[in-house]
Amino acid sequence: MRRTRAAAASAVTVSLLAAVTACGGGSSTDGGSNDSPKTLTYWASNQGPSIEADKKILTPELKKFEKQTGIKVKLEVIPWSDLLNRILAAATSGQGPDVLNIGNTWSASLQATGALLPWDAKNFGKIGGKDRFVESALGSAGETGSDPAAVPLYSMAYALYYNKKMFEDAGIAGPPATWDELVADGKKISKDDKWALGAEGANLSENIHHVFVLAKQHGADFFDADGKPDFTSDGAVAAVKQYVDLMGKDKVIAPGNAEYAQNQSLQDFAKDKTAMVMWQTAAATLKAHGMSDDEWGVAPVPVQSGAPGADTAVNSMVAGINMAVFKNTDNVDGAMKFVNFMTSVDEQTILNKTYGSIPPVKAAQQDPAFNTPALKVIRDTLAKSAAPLPQVANESQFETAVGTAVKELFAEAAAGRPVTTASVKEKLDEAQQQMPKK
Amino acid sequence: MTVTAEPAVGKEAPPGATAPAPRRRTGRVRRIALPYLLLLPALLLELLVHLVPMVIGIVMSFKELTQFYIRDWGAAPWAAFDNYSLSVDFDAPIGKALLHSFFVTCAFTVLSVGLCWLLGTTAAVYMQENFRGRGFLRAVFLVPYALPVYAAVITWAFMFQRDNGLVNHVLHDQLGLTDSPSFWLIGDNSFVALLVVSVWKGWPFAFLIVMAGLQNIPKELYEAASIDGAGMIQQLRRITLPSLRPVNQVLVLVLFLWTFNDFNTPYVLFGKAAPEAADLISIHIYQSSFVTWNFGTGSAMSVLLLLFLLVVTGVYLVLTSRGRRAADA
C-alpha cells in the first residue's frame, strides 16, 4: 500500500515537473550545440505518393549518409495536414527535430518565430556557398533583405496540363497561351458535362497561388513595399474576379469544383471530364489514375497577352520545399553535414528525379532527366517567369484570409449568384481587416 | 462526466456504535480519510490535465502571443484586455465574425440537442414494448454512436459531395426534388448538412440514456394508470416524462456541452475554413489561433466561451434542481 502510494506520488511529481519544464523550454540553447553528434532527427514532408513510399525512397539515401559520416538519421515523414502544426508545436516547446522540410511559402512566417537557424554567409560556406542555388528558389527562403531561414531542396512551378484527346475532340489545335484564348477554347469544350478547366475551389493554398499570379499580371501585389497588406487595390480585385469569373461568367470551370479540395480535379482530368488543369507536378498522380504519359501535354500557364516573362508576364509562383535546421538542435555540425549531403549534386539528381521536381541546385539541373517536355516547361517557368509569394511574416495569415475569401466567392459563383467588382472588393476588404495590425 | 451528489461516505455509523472506543475512532478516521486518499491521484491528474492548461490558457489570453513570441512565450508582451476588446468589438470584422459564429452555434445546438432528444426518447419509448427483432433494432440504433467519429464523418462528407455524392443522387437524380444538384459542403446548405450529421451521431446517446432511465419506472404505475383509464399519451405525460426528469436533466446538459463544443464534425466535414453558414465556434477559434497564429486572441475567445458555458450550465443546474426540489416537496 505504502509502496504504491509512494510510486503514485512520484509519478505525479515527475509528470508535473515535466509539464512545467516543457512550458519553459525553447530559449535556453540558442544557436544549437553538439551534445549528441552521432544522431539526427529529420522531419521530411510528404513528397511521394504516400508516407510509406517516401520512407522507401529516403531510407537508402540516409543509409549512404550514415556510411559517409557515421551519423544515424532518424526519419519521420509527416503528412502535409500536420506539418505546420507540428512545426509550430516544436517551436513552442523547443522539442523538435534537428533538420526539417518546410513548404517554401512558410519560410518568412517561420523565420519570424526565431526557431530556425539563419543561413548567413558562414553557414552557407559549410554547404558550398550560396551561388550553387537557383536565385528564384533562394528568393523564397525567408524575408527579403535578411539571411534565408532555409535552403532550397526541391523546386516546382505551375504549368498548364491539357488532355490531348479532349482538345482533339473539340477541334482545338494546341494549348492556349493567353487567358482570352483559354476562355475561347474553353467555351468550345465546356458542354455535355465536359468542362474546360479544373480548379480546387475549396483549397485555400491553391486559390492563393492562382490569384497571386493573376494579381502580378494585373500589376498588383497583396503586400506593399513595407510588408503591409494591400488586398483591395484595383489590380488585386481584378485578379480575384478574373479567377472566379472563369466559373461564374465564362463558365469554363464546372460549378462542382467550388467544393474541391482533395485533388478531385486531377481525377476529372484523367477521366476526360476536364480538359485542363493548372498544376505543379501531376505526372505521378495522373499515372495512378490510369492515364499514360502521351495522353496529356504540358504548356506554360496562360498570361494576359504576349509570352511569359517577368513582371506582368509572370505565370507561376515559385513553388518548392526548403530544408531548415532547428535552432536548438543538439547536433549543429551534423545537421550542416546533412544539409550539405542532401543538396549535393548526386542526391539532388536522385531525389528530384524520383519526385518529379526540379533541383534548385544549378549543377544538378544538367541531368537529361530534367529535360523531358513536361519538366522543361516547368524549368523554363522557374528560370524566367516565376515569382515568389510575398516573403512577409504574415504570409500564412494572408493565405487563410484571402484563400477563404476566394473559396466563398467560388461558392457564390457556383450557386449562380453574381460576383461583381464590388462584392469581390468587399470580401477582400473583410479579409484585410482580419490581418494582424502589426 | 457529471458529478452527482453521492451520500457522504463514512457518515453512516455501524449499528450499535454508540460508545466509540479509541481504537474505533482511529478506524473511523481511517475510513473517512481513505476515500480522499483514493481520490488524490485522480484529483492531481485532473489538476494536471484540465486545470493547469485552463489556467495557462487564461494567462495566454492576456498576452500578445503571435508567431513572433511562440518560441519563448514568456517574453510575449502583456496585452491587458486588448485580445478581449478585439473579440467583442462587434463592429469590426473579427468581433462580427465571432458574434455570427456564436449565433450559428446557438441555433445549431438548440436544433441538434432538441432533435437528438426527441428522436432518442421516441425510439426508447417505442422500444419498451417487447417485439420480435427488438434486440437487433437496439443494436442497429447504437451503431452511429459506436463508429469512430472521423471514419463516420468522412463517409458523410463523401455522401454530401455535389457531383458524385449519394445525397444528391437520391434527392436530385432519383426523386427529382431539386432542379439542380445542390451544394451541401459549401454555401447555406452546409448548416443542414452539419445538423444532419450531428443528429445522426448524437441521438443514439440520448436513446441509450433514456432507455436506461425507463427501466427504473415501476411497471405497476402503468398498470394502475391503464386501469384508471389513462391512454398512452396521458401515461407518457403523467408517468414517463416526470419519472425521466432527473435523467433528462443530465442528458440535455451533456448533449448541450458536447454539441456546443463539437470540433470534429465541422472540421472533418468542411476542413480548416468552414462555410459561414456552418461556422461553429470551436472551429472559428481554431482558425483564429492555429491558422492565423494568433494564440492570444484565440485564447481570449476560448475564455469567453468557457465563461458563457459556465454561466449557462450554472443557471441550468440551479433552475432544474429548484424545479425538482419543488416537485419533490
A415 closest CB neighbour out of B73, B161, B187: B187
Which tens digit of pLDDT belongs to each residue from B12-30?
444 444 545 556 667 777 7
B70 closest CB neighbour out of A5, A8, A92: A92
Q: Radius of gyration over alpha carbons of chain A, in Å? A: 23
Selected residues 11-50 of chain B with any CB under 8 Å from a CB in chain A:
37, 41, 44-45, 48
Highest-confidence range of A314-328, A372-386, B88-102, B269-283, by mean pLDDT? Answer: A314-328
Look at residue A2 in the predicted model and tell me its pLDDT: 46
Q: Given an 8 Å threshold on Cβ–Cβ distance, is B275 in contact with A408?
A: yes
Classified as helix, coil or strand, B69 is coil
Cβ-Cβ pairs closer than 8 A, A with B, add up to 105
C-alpha span between B152 and B146 (Å, rounded): 10
C-alpha cell recorded at residue A221: 501585389
Q: Given an 8 Å threshold on Cβ–Cβ distance, is A5 in contact with B67?
A: no
C-alpha span between A100 and A359 (Å, rounded): 18
A400 closest CB neighbour out of B163, B183, B292: B292
Burial class (CB in 10 A: 0-12, 13-18, 19+), B42: exposed
Q: B293 at the A interface (CB within 8 A)?
A: yes
From edge to edge, which strands make up the β-sheet containing A159-163? A195-197, A274-279, A159-163, A296-299
Domain-embedded: residue B249: yes
C-alpha span between B282 and B265 (Å, rounded): 11
CA count, 13 A, side-chain hemisphere, A320? 34
Domain-embedded: residue B328: no
Q: Given an 8 Å threshold on Cβ–Cβ distance, is A115 in contact with B161?
A: no
Domain spans of chain A? 29-155+319-387, 159-317+394-433
Q: Which residue of A has its CA nearest to B38?
A: A5
Query: Residue B263 belongs to a domain with what CATH number?
Result: 1.10.3720.10
Which tens digit of pLDDT belongs to each residue from B208-224?
999 999 998 998 898 89
Asked, colleague to colleague, whether A29-155+319-387 and A159-317+394-433 share their fold, the answer is yes
Selected residues 92-131 of chain B with any CB under 8 Å from a CB in chain A:
92-94, 97
- Give kind and range of the element (H or E) at residue A103: strand A99-103
Q: B52 at the A interface (CB within 8 A)?
A: yes
B186 closest CB neighbour out of A27, A92, A258: A258
> What global pTM score does this model have?
0.83
Using the predicted structure, report yes or no on whether residue B10 has a pLDDT greater than 80.
no
Q: Given an 8 Å threshold on Cβ–Cβ distance, is A109 in contact with B287?
A: no
DSSP string, B185-249: SSSTTHHHHHHHHHHHHHHHHHHHHHHHHHTTS-HHHHHHHHHTT--HHHHIIIIIHHHHHHHHH
Using the predicted structure, report yes or no on whether residue B3 has a pLDDT greater than 80.
no
A434 closest CB neighbour out of B71, B94, B187: B94
Contact B72, A26 (CB under 8 A): yes
- Chain B residues near residue A265 by CB distance under 8 angstroms: none
Contact A123, A336 (CB under 8 A): yes
Q: B9 at the A interface (CB within 8 A)?
A: no
C-alpha cell recorded at residue B61: 489570453
Average pLDDT of the residues in B192-201: 96
Q: Given an 8 Å threshold on Cβ–Cβ distance, is B273 in contact with A407?
A: yes
Look at residue B325 in the predicted model and tell me its pLDDT: 65
What is the residue range of B189's domain?
A: 104-279
Distance from A91 to chain B by nearest Cα, in Å? 5
Classified as helix, coil or strand, B86 is helix
Average pLDDT of the residues in B21-41: 78
Look at residue A281 in the predicted model and tell me its pLDDT: 83
Classified as helix, coil or strand, A411 is helix
Which tens digit of pLDDT belongs to each residue from B124-144?
999 888 888 888 999 999 999
- The β-bridge relationship of strands A39-45 and A195-197 is unpaired
- Chain A residues near residue B74 by CB distance under 8 angstroms: 24, 27
Burial string for A224-252 (b: 16+ CB within 10 Å, else e) reads eeeeebbbbbebbbbbbbbbbbbbbebbb
Using the predicted structure, report yes or no on whether residue B264 has a pLDDT greater than 70.
yes
Q: B171 at the A interface (CB within 8 A)?
A: no
Domain-embedded: residue B185: yes
Domains of chain B: total: 1
C-alpha span between B27 and B33 (Å, rounded): 10
Look at residue B24 in the predicted model and tell me its pLDDT: 63
Q: B178 at the A interface (CB within 8 A)?
A: no
C-alpha cell recorded at residue B75: 517574453
Domain-embedded: residue B181: yes
Look at residue A7 in the predicted model and tell me its pLDDT: 47
Contact A32, A330 (CB under 8 A): yes
Nearest of A407, A147, A159 to residue A399 by alpha carbon = A407
C-alpha span between B98 and B22 (Å, rounded): 63
Domain-embedded: residue B7: no
C-alpha span between B318 and B321 (Å, rounded): 5
B41 closest CB neighbour out of A8, A91, A92: A8
Tens digit of pLDDT per residue, chain A (438 long)? 444 444 444 444 444 444 433 333 333 344 678 888 889 999 999 988 788 989 999 999 999 999 999 999 999 999 887 888 899 889 888 888 999 999 999 999 899 989 999 999 999 999 999 999 988 899 899 988 889 999 999 999 999 999 999 999 999 999 999 999 999 999 999 988 899 999 999 999 999 999 999 999 999 999 998 889 999 999 999 999 999 999 999 999 999 999 998 888 999 999 999 999 999 988 878 888 899 989 999 999 999 999 999 889 999 999 999 999 999 899 999 999 999 999 999 999 999 998 889 999 999 998 998 988 888 999 999 989 999 999 888 888 898 899 999 999 999 999 999 999 999 999 999 999 888 875
Which residues does A115 contact at the CB level (< 8 Å), separation at least 6? Answer: A87, A90, A91, A96, A326, A327, A328, B71
Amino acid A22 reads: A
Q: Given an 8 Å threshold on Cβ–Cβ distance, is A259 in contact with B183?
A: yes
* Neighbour count for residue A192 (Cβ, 10 Å): 6
Q: Name the least confident of A113-122, A277-286, B84-93, B287-296.
A: B287-296
Amino acid A228 reads: K
CATH code at A159-317+394-433: 3.40.190.10
Domain-embedded: residue B113: yes
Look at residue B92 in the predicted model and tell me its pLDDT: 83
C-alpha span between B164 and B88 (Å, rounded): 41
Which CATH number fits the domain A29-155+319-387, given the four candidates 3.40.50.720, 3.40.50.1240, 3.40.190.10, 3.30.70.20? 3.40.190.10
A27 closest CB neighbour out of B72, B183, B290: B72
- Give kind and range of the element (H or E) at residue B286: helix B281-286
Selected residues 259-278 of chain B with any CB under 8 Å from a CB in chain A:
271-273, 275-276
Using the predicted structure, report yes or no on whether residue B38 has a pLDDT greater than 60.
yes
B48 closest CB neighbour out of A19, A115, A415: A19
Look at residue B326 in the predicted model and tell me its pLDDT: 63
- Chain B residues near residue A413 by CB distance under 8 angstroms: none
- Chain A residues near residue B287 by CB distance under 8 angstroms: 400
Look at residue A4 in the predicted model and tell me its pLDDT: 45
Distance from A431 to chain B by nearest Cα, in Å? 8
Using the predicted structure, report yes or no on whether residue B296 has a pLDDT greater than 70.
yes
DSSP β-bridge partners for residue A279 = A159
Contact A310, A385 (CB under 8 A): yes
Look at residue B131 in the predicted model and tell me its pLDDT: 86
Which residues does B56 contact at the CB level (< 8 Å), separation at least 6? Answer: A23
Contact B248, B114 (CB under 8 A): no
C-alpha span between A229 and A437 (Å, rounded): 10
Alpha carbon A428 to its chain's center: 23
Look at residue B324 in the predicted model and tell me its pLDDT: 64
Q: Given an 8 Å threshold on Cβ–Cβ distance, is A27 in contact with B163?
A: no
